[in-house]
Amino acid sequence: MKKLVCFGDSLTARNEGFDQPMLTTKLAKQFNQYEVINAGVSGDNTVDGLSRMERDVMVHEPDGVTVFFGANDAAFHKTVPIELYKKNLFKIVERISPERTILISPAPVDEKVQMARTNAVLYQYAFAAKQVAEDTGCHFIDFYHQMISLEDYPDKLRGIKDDGLHFGEEGYDFLVQLLTEKIKSIRL
C-alpha cells in the first residue's frame, strides 16, 4: 500500500470534532489505496518542521507528502523571516524529493477575528511558497489564492475555535477537493 504523509502545523493536525485529524480522515476516504499518515503538530513553523522531518515523515518512506506550513511562520508573535521560510521549505522539499512533494501555500485568515496574522503578510508567504515550488519543481497548490477568491471564504474559515485561522469542515472539504484533484492529476 502506498503511503501519503500530511506534514504541517495545526491546520494539518486538527481533529475539528472528529476522532482523528480531519484532513487525513477526509483524504483517506478519497484514496483507499493509500495509508494516509498525519504528521501535523500544532504551533509548528518551518523551523520546527525541519527539525522533526526524519522522525515524523521520512521514517514512513512515503510515496507522497503534503507540506502545509506558513500560518505560524507569518504570525506576528513568532515570525520566521520570509527568506528563512523559503530556505526551510526548500530544504524540506529537497529532502522529500520534488516529485513526491505537494507544497500547499498558507491559507488566508478572516481578519475580523484573527489578530495574530494579516492577509497582506500571508500573501507574501504564499508567494514565497510558490517561488519554492517553481525553483524546486515540486507540485503546488496555491491554497491562499484558491481560498481567498471564494466569495464566502470567511465562512470556510469558521471552525470550532472560530478564530479566523483554524477552519472548519467546509474549509477542509475545499482543501481535500484541491488535493484530490492534484493527486489524481500527478498520479502520485
In this prediction, residue 18 carries a pLDDT of 85
Which cell goes with 143?
491554497
Answer yes or no: are the C-beta atoms of 136 and 96 closer than 8 Å: no
109: helix, strand or coil:
coil
Residue reference for cell 483524504: 27
| Domains of the chain as residue ranges with CATH | 2-186 (3.40.50.1110)
pLDDT along the chain (188 residues), means of 10: 97 92 95 95 98 98 98 96 98 98 98 96 98 98 97 92 93 97 91
Answer yes or no: are the C-beta atoms of 41 and 100 closer than 8 Å: no
Residue reference for cell 526548500: 90
The overall pTM is greater than 0.95: yes
Among left, alpha and beta (phi > 0; psi -120 to 50; other), residue 25 is: alpha
Please tell me the distance from the alpha carbon of residue 9 to that of residue 13, in angstroms, as a whole number: 6
In this prediction, residue 14 carries a pLDDT of 96
Which cell goes with 129?
511558497
Answer yes or no: are the C-beta atoms of 108 and 122 closer than 8 Å: yes
In this prediction, residue 150 carries a pLDDT of 95
Which cell goes with 75?
504570525
